[in-house]
A and B are shown apart, each in its own frame.
Chain A
Amino acid sequence: MPEATMTANTGAVRTGTQELSLNKAINAALADALEENPRALVLGEDVGRLGGVFRITDGLQERFGAERVFDTPLAESGILGMSVGLAMAGYHPIPEVQFDGFTYPAVNQIVTQIARMNFRTRGALPMPITLRMPSFGGIQSPELHSESLEWLFAHVAGLKVVSPSNPHQAYHLLRHAATMPDPVVFMEPKSRYWQKGSVDFDTPGDLTGSVVAREGRHLTLVAWGAMVSRCLQVADMAAEDGVEVEVLDLRWLKPIDAEGLARSVARTRRAVVVHEAPKSAGLGAEVAQLITEHCFGTLKAPVERVTGFDVPFPSGSLENEYLPNADRILFGIQRVLEYRRG
């Protein structure tokens, strides 16, 4: 790709505050990333002419040209293989995998190339790739359109993994990820794409580690992505029963903010971790272990996990039975509250 074809910067990035849905916030972040970094490229299935199946890349090809925002064949291994080559050539690719379940054909490129190249070449070939994927369930989609793949990516050394839970975070975490020299898997909570929220473009806040989404003193609910809003609803319910639940939005799933976890649970002395992926060998186990390491002496009960079941992530008609709902999370909280040392 000759450099002369790159579209010149035409305007400044956003400032001020705006009410945006989460998908529009990501669209804004991509536009500003392309604006700011002439080496940034957006590629994927239907991201160009169509503007993405979730309208995430709407208008980007018209604005930045088909050399910087381009459609690829329906082959995820090709999208990510191409991203490896582009990163080697000095670009910052921002590939989209159209649905998280479509990642599986490209696991080879992610695990054997993207995650390792920097390590393999002793830093000579870093992989500044921001891999976006609509993630998790909640939209009643067909099979393999909804997964919860943090269990996979967080275990692959060399990758960073992050998931925003609201529009403000989505904008700033994506801008942040798109400046990092490392490959970042950016897991977008697709069921929250239409959720609106205020985005303060000038004040990103701390973009590292976790954030307390709601303060409480009796128990910490740990969640990420789409489960954060569900846990906030559950915290409202718990409050009706006199239980003050703190909701910790983990955000970064690799590396996990162990200090933030410890800070919260050291105060509440009880924890429940909630995720959509199956329980066995899921990230909830890692979270529970980190809490145990840092807070064993003060814990009032073992850390409880409320998760998807140990079955393949089902298609839409069974999704509500599979995903942690308010009652299952409340049951988890109750088990922790009534635990007594035997």
Chain B
Amino acid sequence: MAEISFPLPDLGEGLIEATVLEWLVAEGDQVERNQPMVEVETTKSSLELPSPQAGTVVRTHGEPGDTINVGDPLIVFEVPDDTAGIVGTVPKDEAPKRRVRLSANLDDD
């Protein structure tokens, strides 16, 4: 297994921090990609952040009321080694399908 840390992204144009309002996931939770993860408040608005990936939550950073700087760790996931940090998907190893049949007279070979 590998750990993937997700830092707080810039949630607007040039915002430098956000305040945690409520965690919607807890340590040990298995989360799916895009599942609501945490509610935060910035100087512009409050909003719900979706999980950037599937995995098991190892750690969350910040209690409700705590301020987190953009770029600092927000949440850490544990993911299987095979999918850690992958862009794209691991291809399935299955026999390809065929529709074309060969026909040839190879007698003269």
Give me the interface of A with B, judged by CB distance under 8 Å. Answer: 46, 50-55, 58, 99, 138-142, 145-146, 191, 194-195, 217-218, 230, 233, 237-238, 241-243, 269, 316, 325-327, 330-331, 333-334, 337-338
Contact residues of B between 51 and 109, Cβ < 8 Å to A: 81-82, 84-91, 93, 95-104, 106, 109
A53 to B98 alpha-carbon distance, docked (Å): 33
A218 to B104 alpha-carbon distance, docked (Å): 10
A191 to B93 alpha-carbon distance, docked (Å): 10
From the candidates A46, A145, A218, A241, name the one contacting B88 in the complex (CB within 8 A): A145
Give me the interface of B with A, judged by CB distance under 8 Å. Answer: 2, 81-82, 84-91, 93, 95-104, 106, 109
Whether the pair B88, A194 counts as a contact (CB closer than 8 A) is: no
Contact A327 B99, CB 8 Å, known A53-B85, A218-B106: yes
Whether the pair B93, A195 counts as a contact (CB closer than 8 A) is: yes
A13 to B81 alpha-carbon distance, docked (Å): 24
Using Cβ atoms and an 8 Å threshold, which residues of chain B touch A141? Answer: 87-88
Whether the pair A55, B97 counts as a contact (CB closer than 8 A) is: no
A238 to B100 alpha-carbon distance, docked (Å): 10
Whether the pair B101, A54 counts as a contact (CB closer than 8 A) is: no
6 pairs, A vs B, C-beta closer than 8 Å: A53-B85, A99-B87, A327-B98, A333-B102, A334-B103, A337-B106
Whether the pair B100, A334 counts as a contact (CB closer than 8 A) is: yes
From the candidates A140, A241, A325, name the one contacting B89 in the complex (CB within 8 A): A140
Query: Measured between C-beta atoms, what is the minimum distance from B86 to chain A in Å?
Result: 7
Whether the pair B96, A194 counts as a contact (CB closer than 8 A) is: no
Known: A140-B89, A237-B98, A337-B102. 5 other contacts (CB 8 A): A53-B85, A99-B87, A243-B104, A327-B99, A330-B101
Query: Measured between C-beta atoms, what is the minimum distance from A187 to chain B in Å?
Result: 17
From the candidates A55, A330, A338, name the one contacting B85 in the complex (CB within 8 A): A55
Query: Measured between C-beta atoms, what is the minimum distance from B81 to chain A in Å?
Result: 6
